Structure formats: C-alpha cells, structure tokens
Chain A
C-alpha cells in the first residue's frame, strides 16, 4: 500500500466551485506539505505544516487554504476555483529524524482542471 495517498487523483470542476483535495499518510511523519506543479515551472510550495497545530503559508498560498485534521491528514481547499489553478497538486511528508534530513515523500498527485 502507498505510504502517501491523495484523493481524488483527477478532478474537473467549474470556475467558482469549492474544491477539497485530501492527503493521507501512514508514515507517521509530523511534517506535511502541499505543492502545485505547472509545466516548466517545477514545484511551488503552497502550504506546509510541521505538526498538527502548525500551519504556514508557502510562496503561492493566495486562493488556497489548508486543514491539518490529524497527524496523518492534511487537506487543501480552493474556496472558489479559477482556471489558473489548473495544475498538478502534490502532497508530501518528511521526518527530520529520518535517515535523510531533506527527504520528502510525495504522493501520486491530483490533476485538477478548472473550466
């Protein structure tokens, strides 16, 4: 079973709709992250959380919000989706006490299309 799962894997929605992307992990990691990936632009950090009570904005948080419901769950919401939020979204986790301080473990991604 995958350690980091994302649901849904694909979603098509319309402008103005509220969308929630969910991420769950079984790795027992405290740190979780949400990124978006656009063609040719790499991954950009939206929000991150170092533990259940900690939420931080990344470089492109406008138009997004998050909720850390438990150590294992970190959800990303688009309150009112717009077409330029069409992208591939990745959730990731990390454990600073692990063998690789910098290693983040990524989910399979959610492809979101906003029409």
Chain B
C-alpha cells in the first residue's frame, strides 16, 4: 500500500518579511554546523556554515546563529523572496577517518506568500 511520510514543519512568511528557521542538534562534538536549501525537484544546495567556536556568521541576506548551551542553530533570512521557498536542512559535520561526514536534520518547509 501507499506509505505516508512524516509531516514537515512549515514556516509561512510574507514576501519582504524576515524568516527564522530553527534546528536542534544533538552532537556536541560536531565541529561545524551547516545549512542547506532544497528546492522542489532538486538536490540540496549549501547556503552557509558556522564553526562550533563561533556564535554568529553572516552571509548574503542570511545569518546563522549558534547557541551551544542549548544545542540550537537558527537560520535567519532577511527580506524573504519567493525564490527562498524551499525545504531547509541543518546539518552537523563530524570528522571521521580520513575525512568528514554530515548528519542532516529532518528539514523545514519555507513558504513565501506574495
């Protein structure tokens, strides 16, 4: 029979408003935290990362905040545009063996209303 997946958390914002997408992580040993954007029908795309010894990093229209005390990560998007509509994933980076690997969260659907 047909399988039913889990419902993605959804954030709806008006065009031009700021968006804040939140993520709780579990591994205190992660050295980097990363945000990815996935548009419909496409693979995820890197947005921004933050090293674990930082609490804030800014990019173009995006800011990532890291609160290690409560293991919380957030992505702020300024002046949200229709092109920002996508699923956003946070990810934790872990160094392993001869390289690194990512563990992804379950994602948040951002919908931008005109």
Contacts and interface: CB of A to CB of B under 8 A. Distances in A.
A40 B106 contact: yes
A73 interface: no
B5 A100 contact: no
On chain A, which size bracket covers the interface?
Answer: 20 to 34
Question: Which secondary structure characterizes the binding site on chain A?
Answer: loop
B42 A45 contact: no
Interface residues of B, number: 29
B45 interface: yes
Contacts of B83: none
Contacts of B107: 40, 42
Contact of B106 (A31, A42, A51): A42
Given A92-B43, A102-B102, A106-B43, A43 B97 contact: no
A109 B43 contact: yes
A106 B108 CA distance: 19
B44 A40 contact: no
Interface of A: 4, 31, 33, 35, 38-45, 48, 50-51, 54, 56, 58-59, 86, 90, 92, 94, 96, 100-109
Interface of B: 3, 5-8, 32, 34, 41-46, 49, 89, 91, 93, 96-107
